Structure 1
C-alpha cells in the first residue's frame, strides 16, 4: 500500500463485511481496488475476513499490478484455511506465469510457492519449470527460491521433477543474483533434507567466485557461507579462494565481513604456509576492529564472534587489546563481552595496561561489572604466572578500599590464586583475616574458610577464627557448611590439640544428626569413618597435594569451538551453542510413507494395538504422508472405537522438537478419547502447546530423613569405631522388566521401571546396544499420563554407548499439571526415547504407585479413625494379596521403608487373625492423595486381605499392585 493508505486501518463499523462484498463485486475498478485495500487492512489488524475469499479471488483478473499484489497477499494468508477455494485461483496463477510482464510472472510463481497447500503444488510444477529457464533474470532468481519452498512442502516432487538439477544448472547463470539465489536455495535444501543436494566442485567453485564480485551484499553472504563448507583440494586451491575472498573484508556490511573471515579461517588450515597465514591474520584484524564502531547491538554480535576467534587465533588481535577497553557509555552487555576478550588477549607484554583498566573498572558504580572486573584480575593471575604478583598487589589495593562487594570478590579470587600457586603468596593471608568481619556472602565466606583450613599451620589463631564461623554453623549456607567441615578436619590433622578435637566433634555431630543436606551429611560420614579407622589414611586423603587449577571460565571444548567457528556470523556464534541445540527441523530426510513404522501401544484397558505391545517404531525422518481414503487421521478413533496409533511422521516431528517446542497441529491441541474415556494415543502430539522451556514443577514432599547417627565421638582416634554405615548389604537387585526388545529397537534394548531415589521418583532405564555402531544423543519424553509425570530434563544423562555396551541410568522425574491426562487413573506410561543414530523408539511402561509414595505420608493415630469414617463406603476397595506375612515388626519395617506407615496393629480376639491399619500419601495432581489402608491376615498362613480408602477410588488397583511389590506377593 502507498504511504497515504493509513486511513484504511480505521475500520470499526458494524456490517462492514457486507459492504466489502458489495464493493468487491462492483464494476468500477477504482471502487474494487479500494475495497481490496480495506480487506487487507482489516486482515492486517487481525480481523477475520476469510468469508470474503471467493469475492477477493474474483478480483485477480486484472491488469493493475498493485491490485494483483494485494489479492495475492490475501491468498497467501487464507489459502491454507480455504484449500478447496484456493484451487479457483490456479488458472489465474498459471496464466500470470506466462504474462509478458516479468514482474507478474515472478509474482505468480512466488505466490504459488508461498501457498502451502498440497493441491496447489501439483499445478506449480509446470510454471516453475518454465520460470527456471525464463529469459528474465528476475524471474529466474525468484523461481530458484521457490524451489526451496516447494521442497519444504513436497521433497519427493522436487526430486522426481528434476528441480534440483535445474537449480544446479543455475549456478552457471550469467546473472550473479540468479547464482546467489540458486546457492541459497540449494543450501537450504541440503540443510533441511540432510542429503547431498549441494556439493561444490572445482567447476562450480570458479563460477561462485566469479559471481561474488557482482551480486548484492546478501547474495555475497549466501555464496560466502557456501564456500565456508568447501574443503580445498590443495594449498594452491585454498590460496586462490582466499585471494578472491579477501577484498570482501572491506565491505560495509558486517555480515559480509564475518562470512569472509569464516571462509579465510577455514582455508588457512589447508594453506599451511606460516608466513602467508600470519599475513592473512594481519589483514583480518582491521575489519574486525571496525565492527566495533557500530550500534551497541551490532557491537555485541561482533564481540561474541570475536570471542570465538580469539580463543582459537589470539594472535589475530593480540596487538589490538586497547580497542576492547570499555567506554563509560557502553551498555553492560557490551562491557561484559569486552572484559572476556581482554582476558583472552592479556599477555606478559600488555598485562600492565590491562590491569590498570581492570582496576579502574573496579571503582565504577555498576556492582555486577565491578565484580566481573575483580574476577578478571584473578583470572589474569591464574593464566599469567609472571604477572601473578602484580595482580596480587592490585587486589590488595582494592581490598584497602573497604568496599564490601569488592573485598568479597577479592577474597574469592585470591583463593583461586592460592590454588594455582601454592605456598607462594601466603603473606597476604594476614590482610585477608583482617577483613573477616566484613564477609557476608556465601562464596566469600566459603573461600575464607578454605584459606583458614588450608593454611591452618601458618595461622596462629586458626582455631579461634573457625570457632567464629562455627557459632553460626546451623544458619550458614550449604557451601560454607561444607567448607567448615573440611576446614575443621584439616585443622585437627595439622594441629591435633584438644580444642581442635572438641571442634571437630561438634561439627561432625551436627553435620550427621541435625542436617537434611545429603551432601553435607555424606561428607561428614566419610570424614568420621576415615578419622575413626585410620588417621594416617585421613591425613593422606585430606592433606594430599591438590591439582593445579587453570582458567577455564569461558574456554569451550575444542570440538564445540570448531563447530562454532564454522558457523560464524550465525545465531550459533552469538549463543555459543551448536545449531542443533536451539534449532529443530521437522524433516531431516526425504522419507516415503511406506517407510514409516507406526508405534504400537496398549490402550488404557491393556488391549494391545495393531502390533505387539511394547514394540517401538523408530523413524529416521518425517515426511507427512496423506492418509488413505477413509482412513482416520492422527488421533482419530479407528474402526471399532479403539484409538488409532499415531503416524510415525507426527510422533517423530514432535519428538525432534523437544529442545525448541513448536506450535502443535490443530489435531494435537487436545488428546483424543475413545468411547470408554481412555486417552488417545497421540504420543507427544498433545505437548505442542505447552511451555516446555523449563523443567516441570518438582514432586512435592518433605526433605529426606536423616541417616542414623554415628557412634559417639568421645575418643574416636584411640580405637576404631563402628562404621557409620554399618547396615547389612542390600539384596541383589531384581532384573528390570523388558520394555523394548532389541529386535523392535533396531539393536537398542531397553529395560526399566519407575523407582524412588533421593526423595523423588525416577525412571530407572537399562540400555543395551547390540547394533553395529555407537549410540549417543539420547532423549526421552512421556505422553500425558494419570500422574502428570515427565522427565525433569529431556536429555538422558548417558554418554555414548559403544557396540555391545550396556548402562543403567536414573532419569529424574517431575510432575506438571499440564501433562495430566483426564479420565480415570491408569498405570499406563507411553514413552518415546530418541538417539541420534536410530531415531525414535516408542514403548509402554507401568507407573508403579510405590515410586510416588511420599516420605511424609504418616498420619497422627488420633486422626486415622475420623479420616477413615469420613470417607464414604464407595471410596473403599478390597483385594486379596498372595503374600505371607511373618512377624509384624519385620513386615512393618519393610512397609515403612516403602513410605507406608503403621498407625495401629492388634490381634483379633478369638481368632488367629491380625489386623494392621496403615497410611500413605501419594504424589498426585492437583494435590497429594491420602491413602488409608487395612491389612488382615492369619499368622503364618498365606494370603492377606487388603482394603484401601481414599478420595480417589480409581487408584485402588495401583495401590494393591504396589503392596504386592512391597510384600513380595
Structure 2
C-alpha cells in the first residue's frame, strides 16, 4: 500500500531494541507495524536476523496479513537460524489444518520454501493432506510443494509415494491442479532422463486434452510441452490431437502459440494424408506472423523459432515474405534475424521484391547490417541462377555509386563468390573492380580482389604491375591470409601469363620461403617452388585445377540437429539454435529417442554457433590412417621438420622442357626454417601396441631382497592385440641365474593363464633382459566373484620358481582394458539409446587434471579395442564417445571422454563410463584414468 512507504525510512541507532519491544507489546497494531518495519529493513539489506525468536512468537495470529509477513521473514532467515526455525514447525503443522484454505495453502507454500532438512521431514504429512484437500487452491499449492521437496530430498518424495499421488491428480476436476501436476512431473522427469517417471499414455492423454481449454495460459504451456513428448499410435490419433490444439494458436500469449506450433510440427511427422499436412501448415502461418507485431524482444524470440520452422517446413511461410521486410525502427538484432529468414524464403517469384529491399538496406547506417545486406545479394545470386544478372547489376551499382568504403569492399568479397559460381560470365566488371584497388584496406576484401586478379590475370593488362604496385611492395605488412592469397595468385599469373612475370614470381617465392616466419606460407612457397622447378604442366594441373562449384545452402542447420531443436521450441535452445546440453552447466548427455517418421538424432551433429564437429569418425581404417598421419605431422612440426625431404631440392635435377626454355627459375637451395614451438595439442607418437615409446614396466612384482638379488618388474599389456605380461628381469646378484622358470597363475577374476617363461640366455650379474609372457583367458580358470569390490577381479596371484631363486608368490594387476574384445562396434543410434537407458546410476566418473594430447589419448584407447563412435566440439571442449566390450563377462561399456585445455597449456579430461554390471564401469574408468594421465 502507498501508506506503507513510511516503513522504509532510514534506520536509527537502537532501532532493533525498539522492534523487540514492539513485537512483545500487547497492542496488536504495534506488533503489525513492527513486523512491517522489520520486513522493510530486510528488503533494503539490513540484517535483522537477531529478531528471529521474537518474530516467531507472533506466528500464532488470526491476522492473515501479519501471518504472511511473519512467513516472509521466516523464509528469508531460516537458513541462517535452522535450529530456531524448527520451533516454528508446530505452528506450521497447525496452520495446515486451519479452516481457512488460504492459511492452509500459505503454510504449505512457506514450509516448502524453507530449505532446511529438519523442516522438510515434518512436511510429509501436511503435504499428503494437502494433496487430498477438498479445496483446489490448497491442492495446487501442495503439488508445487512436492516439486520443492524433490529438489531438497528426492528419495523422500519417492519413498512417501508422492509421485503416484501426482499422477492421480492428473484426473483432478480443477484444471489448475492438473497443470501444476504436469509441471511438477515434467520437472522430475527432466532431472531423471533415464527413468520413466512421467510417460503419457492414452488415459493421461485424454485427461490433459480435457484440461487444456480450461487452464491458465501458463498451465496450457505446461500441458502442451508435456503432450510434445507423446508419440501417437497412428495418423488418425495425431490428427485428433492436432484438432484439439489448433484453437491454442489464437491465444494472446506468445508462449502458448509457440508451444502449440511445436506440438503441431511434431504431430505432422505422424500424418500420412498430404491434405491434412497442408491444412495444418496453413493454419500455423497467421499466428506466427502475428508474433512479429509484439515488442522487440518477443519479436526476436519469435523470429529465431520461425527460422527453425521454415527450415523444417520450407513452404509454410513462403507467401509471407513481405512480413519479414525490415522496418526503420526495428532494433539491429531483429533486422539481422529478419534478413536471415528472407534468405531462406527468397525464390524466383519474389526475388525482385527482395532485391529492392536489399538495395535499400545497403544504404542504411548500421555497418553490420549493411554488410550482411550486401552479402545477402550475393547469396541470392548464387542461390537463384535466373536472378544472377540482377544481383550482379545491383552490386556494380553499389560499387559505382556508394560513397562508403566498406560497402565497396563487401561487394568485392561477394563478387569473388559469384565468379566462383559463374566462371567467365561477368568478366566485364573486373575493370570497375580494378579502379577500387587503392581503397582496399580490409584483409578479406584484399584477399578477394587478389583472388580475382590471379584467376583472370590472362584477361587483364599488365597484371604483374598491378601486383607489384598494390600488393607485393607491402607483402610483409599484410595479414597471413592476404600473403597466402598473393603467393597463389602470383603463381597463377605466371602459369597463365609467362611473359615478363618470372622476376615477380621469383621475388614473391623468395619472400615467402626465406623472409617469413609463418610456417603455412613457407610450406606453400616451397611446394609451389618445387612444382615450378619440376614441370610447368604438372604445376598447371595442380594450381589451375577446376574448383568444385559453390552453392548457397538452403538451410543453415543440419537436418539431424533440426530434429533435435524442434522439440525444444519456445525454450532457450531454440533461441541459441544449440542443444541444451551444450550451454546448460553440468548438463548430462541426453539423446532423445527417435520418433516414427523422424531421423534418429546423432551425437555428431553440428555444435554451438554452427561449427562443424571434429571427426565424427566411424573407426574405419581410412580414418585411423588419417589420424595417424595428423599425429605424425604434428610430431614433425614439434621437431622443426616442416617439409620432410626438403634437402633434396638442392640436388641438381635433369633439365625439363620448361627449364630449357628458360621459363622456370633455378631450383632453390634449402632454407633452414625458423624454430617453431611445438603446439600444445601436438600428438605424442603411440606404438602399435598402444604404449608410449618411453614407457617401461613400472610395477615391481618380485623384489631383489626376497629373491636373492633377482628382481622382476612387469605390467600386463596388449601387444599387437595379444594379452601378455611385459617384464624386465634384472640380475642384481653376483651369480648367474639359469634361464628356465616355472611360471603359474592361480585362479583369478578374469581367468588369465600364462605360457612358459624362459629367458633368452642365462642372466649374468648386473645384466637385465626384457621378457614378454603371452597370456590367454580361460573361463575354467576364473575365480568366483560375489559382486563386491570389482577391483578384486583385477588381482592375479602368481607363482615363480627357478633353480637359483627358489619358489616365490606375488600378485599382479591386469587392467580391464587388457581383456577387451577386438573389433567391437556399434551404430551411433544404438549407442545413444543404450547410453541413455543405463542412466546416471550406472555411471562412474574420473576427473583427470593432466592427460596426453588428444590424438595420443585416442590412440591409446583404440589400441585397447575401444571403438570411437562419434566426436563433437563444443567451444573449446572436445567430447569423444567410445564403445567397448569385455571378453570375460560379455558385458559392454560406454565411454564419454571430454577434453578441455587448461590455463597451464595442458589438457584436462573428464572420463564417464556407463555399464551393466556397474563394476565393469568402475574398472573401465579406473583403467582409462591410469592409461591417459601424464605422470
Common fold, TM-score beyond 0.5?
yes
Look up the SS of the partner of 1:801 in the other structure.
Answer: strand
Q: For 1:483-502, list aligned pairs within 5 A.
A: 483-497=485-499, 499-502=500-503
1:405 Cα deviation (Å)? 1.4
Look up the SS of the partner of 1:135 in the other structure.
Answer: coil
Quickly say closer, same or farther: Cα 1:439–1:562, change in 2 above 3 A: same
- Checking the alignment, whether the CA contact within 8 Å between 1:23 and 1:31 is kept in structure 2 is yes
Output the CA distance in 2 between the equivalents of 1:587 and 1:123. Answer: 32
- Checking the alignment, whether the CA contact within 8 Å between 1:778 and 1:834 is kept in structure 2 is no
- Aligned partner of 1:85 in structure 2 is 84
- Aligned partner of 2:170 in structure 1 is 171
Output the CA distance in 2 between the equivalents of 1:103 and 1:331. Answer: 45
The range that moved more, 577-586 or 804-813, is 804-813
Output the CA distance in 2 between the equivalents of 1:471 and 1:777. Answer: 45
- Asked if 1:482 corresponds to 2:484, the answer is yes
Residue from 882, 891, 897 that aligns with 1:801: 882
- Aligned partner of 2:451 in structure 1 is 450
Output the CA distance in 1 between the equivalents of 2:21 and 2:223. Answer: 50
Look up the SS of the partner of 1:833 in the other structure.
Answer: strand
User: Per-residue displacement from partner, 1:449-489 (whole Å, max 9, x unpaired)?
Assistant: 01111222222322222222111111112221111111112
- Asked if 1:833 corresponds to 2:910, the answer is yes
Q: For 1:595-606, list aligned pairs within 5 A.
A: none
- Aligned partner of 2:109 in structure 1 is 110
1:305 Cα deviation (Å)? 1.0
Output the CA distance in 2 between the equivalents of 1:752 and 1:75. Answer: 43
- Aligned partner of 1:98 in structure 2 is 97
Q: TM-score, normalised by structure 2?
A: 0.69
- Aligned partner of 1:231 in structure 2 is 231
User: Per-residue displacement from partner, 1:558-579 (whole Å, max 9, x unpaired)?
Assistant: 1221222111111111111111
- Checking the alignment, whether the CA contact within 8 Å between 2:876 and 2:900 is kept in structure 1 is no
Output the CA distance in 1 between the equivalents of 2:684 and 2:241. Answer: 67
- Checking the alignment, whether the CA contact within 8 Å between 2:304 and 2:575 is kept in structure 1 is yes
Look up the SS of the partner of 1:121 in the other structure.
Answer: helix
- Checking the alignment, whether the CA contact within 8 Å between 1:737 and 1:751 is kept in structure 2 is no
1:735 Cα deviation (Å)? 3.4
- Aligned partner of 1:289 in structure 2 is 289
- Checking the alignment, whether the CA contact within 8 Å between 1:408 and 1:441 is kept in structure 2 is yes
- Checking the alignment, whether the CA contact within 8 Å between 1:751 and 1:766 is kept in structure 2 is no
- Checking the alignment, whether the CA contact within 8 Å between 2:22 and 2:34 is kept in structure 1 is yes
Output the CA distance in 1 between the equivalents of 2:432 and 2:907. Answer: 61
- Aligned partner of 1:768 in structure 2 is 861
1:704 Cα deviation (Å)? 12
- Aligned partner of 2:340 in structure 1 is 340
User: Per-residue displacement from partner, 1:537-584 (whole Å, max 9, x unpaired)?
Assistant: 332222111112222497012122122211111111111111112223
1:847 Cα deviation (Å)? 10
1:244 Cα deviation (Å)? 0.3
Output the CA distance in 2 between the equivalents of 1:96 and 1:146. Answer: 15
- Aligned partner of 1:254 in structure 2 is 254
Output the CA distance in 2 between the equivalents of 1:17 and 1:205. Answer: 57
- Aligned partner of 1:955 in structure 2 is none
1:527 Cα deviation (Å)? 2.4
- Asked if 1:358 corresponds to 2:435, the answer is no
- Aligned partner of 1:516 in structure 2 is 517
Output the CA distance in 2 between the equivalents of 1:28 and 1:775. Answer: 74
Quickly say closer, same or farther: Cα 1:363–1:542, change in 2 above 3 A: same
- Aligned partner of 1:298 in structure 2 is 298
User: Per-residue displacement from partner, 1:557-614 (whole Å, max 9, x unpaired)?
Assistant: 212212221111111111111111222357999xxxxxxxxxxxxxxxxxxxxxxxxx
- Checking the alignment, whether the CA contact within 8 Å between 1:362 and 1:370 is kept in structure 2 is yes
- Aligned partner of 2:123 in structure 1 is 124
Look up the SS of the partner of 2:232 in the other structure.
Answer: coil
> Unpaired segments of 5 or more residues in structure 2?
591-607, 609-637, 653-658, 675-682, 687-691, 699-812, 819-842, 886-893, 916-920
- Checking the alignment, whether the CA contact within 8 Å between 1:516 and 1:706 is kept in structure 2 is no
Look up the SS of the partner of 1:116 in the other structure.
Answer: coil
1:501 Cα deviation (Å)? 2.3
- Aligned partner of 2:778 in structure 1 is none
- Aligned partner of 2:701 in structure 1 is none
User: Per-residue displacement from partner, 1:408-460 (whole Å, max 9, x unpaired)?
Assistant: 11111111111222233222222222222221111111100011112222223
Q: TM-score, normalised by structure 1?
A: 0.67
> Unpaired segments of 5 or more residues in structure 1?
590-658, 660-702, 781-792, 817-828, 849-960, 962-969
Q: For 1:458-857, list aligned pairs within 5 A.
A: 458-468=459-469, 469-497=471-499, 499-552=500-553, 555-584=556-585, 717=664, 734-735=692-693, 743=816, 766-768=859-861, 795-796=877-878, 799-803=880-884, 812-815=901-904, 832-835=909-912
1:289 Cα deviation (Å)? 0.8
Quickly say closer, same or farther: Cα 1:353–1:705, change in 2 above 3 A: same
The range that moved more, 171-180 or 57-66, is 57-66
User: Per-residue displacement from partner, 1:735-793 (whole Å, max 9, x unpaired)?
Assistant: 37699996499899999977899xxxx9977551668886667899xxxxxxxxxxxx7
1:802 Cα deviation (Å)? 4.8
The range that moved more, 737-746 or 36-45, is 737-746
Output the CA distance in 2 between the equivalents of 1:62 and 1:132. Answer: 25
Q: For 1:800-949, list aligned pairs within 5 A.
A: 800-803=881-884, 812-815=901-904, 832-835=909-912
Look up the SS of the partner of 2:349 in the other structure.
Answer: coil
Output the CA distance in 2 between the equivalents of 1:742 and 1:748. Answer: 17
- Checking the alignment, whether the CA contact within 8 Å between 1:145 and 1:185 is kept in structure 2 is yes
1:332 Cα deviation (Å)? 1.1
- Aligned partner of 1:150 in structure 2 is 149
Structure with more relative contact order (C-alpha pairs < 8 Å, separation 6 or more): 2
Quickly say closer, same or farther: Cα 1:73–1:737, change in 2 above 3 A: farther
Count of matched residue positions in the alignment of Structure 1 and Structure 2: 704
Quickly say closer, same or farther: Cα 1:720–1:508, change in 2 above 3 A: closer
Look up the SS of the partner of 1:349 in the other structure.
Answer: helix
User: Per-residue displacement from partner, 1:129-172 (whole Å, max 9, x unpaired)?
Assistant: 11111101111111111111111111111111111100000110
- Aligned partner of 2:433 in structure 1 is 432
- Checking the alignment, whether the CA contact within 8 Å between 1:50 and 1:78 is kept in structure 2 is yes
Output the CA distance in 2 between the equivalents of 1:429 and 1:246. Answer: 55
Output the CA distance in 1 between the equivalents of 2:462 and 2:122. Answer: 89
- Checking the alignment, whether the CA contact within 8 Å between 2:898 and 2:909 is kept in structure 1 is no
Output the CA distance in 1 between the equivalents of 2:4 and 2:164. Answer: 44
Output the CA distance in 1 between the equivalents of 2:482 and 2:651. Answer: 23
- Aligned partner of 1:680 in structure 2 is none
User: Per-residue displacement from partner, 1:808-830 (whole Å, max 9, x unpaired)?
Assistant: 999654349xxxxxxxxxxxx99
- Aligned partner of 1:374 in structure 2 is 374
- Checking the alignment, whether the CA contact within 8 Å between 1:831 and 1:845 is kept in structure 2 is no
- Checking the alignment, whether the CA contact within 8 Å between 1:112 and 1:124 is kept in structure 2 is yes
Output the CA distance in 2 between the equivalents of 1:508 and 1:810. Answer: 40
Quickly say closer, same or farther: Cα 1:35–1:285, change in 2 above 3 A: same
- Aligned partner of 1:665 in structure 2 is none
- Aligned partner of 2:723 in structure 1 is none
- Aligned partner of 2:207 in structure 1 is 207
Output the CA distance in 1 between the equivalents of 2:913 and 2:265. Answer: 29
Quickly say closer, same or farther: Cα 1:562–1:837, change in 2 above 3 A: farther
Look up the SS of the partner of 2:171 in the other structure.
Answer: coil
- Checking the alignment, whether the CA contact within 8 Å between 2:897 and 2:912 is kept in structure 1 is no
User: Per-residue displacement from partner, 1:249-289 (whole Å, max 9, x unpaired)?
Assistant: 11111111111101110001101211111111111111111
1:328 Cα deviation (Å)? 1.1
Output the CA distance in 1 between the equivalents of 2:899 and 2:694. Answer: 12
- Checking the alignment, whether the CA contact within 8 Å between 1:779 and 1:835 is kept in structure 2 is no
User: Per-residue displacement from partner, 1:881-929 (whole Å, max 9, x unpaired)?
Assistant: xxxxxxxxxxxxxxxxxxxxxxxxxxxxxxxxxxxxxxxxxxxxxxxxx
Output the CA distance in 2 between the equivalents of 1:461 and 1:503. Answer: 12
1:100 Cα deviation (Å)? 0.8
RMSD: 3.8
Quickly say closer, same or farther: Cα 1:367–1:834, change in 2 above 3 A: same
